[in-house]
């Protein structure tokens, strides 16, 4: 059914649920699966020396931790899961990555934001489902 699955993974509760669901689907469909963490851009200006390096180092460490979590899920399900990082706005980067890689399913977790917050600012999952050119599965807890 699905051949290439992309999971938006940020380590959140919703992201972990999405990764688990996508891993089960990938195993069942014998599909290729990639977990993608989108890194928000670093600030362009800083008054403090070393601030950029500190932020970059923290982001790299955060990605290493997410990669370990992905590797654990992959081992539990007996499948390979690629783990990638891209900079940018989460919804845009996930959609662009899915298009570039020819993914036929994007799996994302639903955020835990309040209904009011979601209506005011929008939700990454909502934006992805509105603009993606493939199927989108939004996993709710």
pLDDT for res 40: 77
Which CATH number characterizes residue 124's domain?
Answer: 3.40.50.620
Domain count, the chain: 1
Domain residues for the domain of 89 are 1-35+74-141
pLDDT for res 59: 82
65, part of any domain: no
* Residue pair 137/106 in contact by the 8 Å Cβ criterion: yes
- Report residue 125 CA to chain centroid gap: 10
Per-run averaged pLDDT (10 residues), the chain, 141 residues = 96 94 97 94 57 74 94 98 94 97 96 54 82 95 80
pLDDT for res 110: 85
What is the C-alpha to C-alpha distance for residues 20 and 7, in angstroms, rounded to an integer?
Answer: 10
- Strand-pairing partners, residue 135, are 105
Structure tokens at 79: 């499948």
């Amino acid at each position: 059914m699905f051949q290439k699955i992309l999971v938006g993974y940020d380590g959140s509760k919703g992201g972990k649920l999405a990764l688990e669901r996508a891993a089960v689907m990938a195993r069942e469909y014998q599909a290729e699966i990639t977990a993608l963490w989108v890194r928000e851009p670093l600030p362009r200006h800083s008054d403090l020396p070393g601030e950029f390096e500190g932020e970059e180092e923290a982001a790299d460490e955060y990605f290493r931790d997410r990669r370990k979590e992905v590797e654990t899920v992959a081992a539990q399900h007996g499948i390979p899961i690629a783990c990638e990082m891209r900079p940018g706005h989460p919804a845009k980067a996930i959609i662009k990555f899915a298009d570039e890689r020819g993914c036929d399913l994007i799996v994302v977790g639903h955020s835990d934001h309040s209904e009011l917050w979601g209506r005011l600012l929008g939700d990454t999952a909502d934006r992805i489902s509105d603009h993606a050119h493939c199927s989108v599965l939004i996993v709710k807890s």
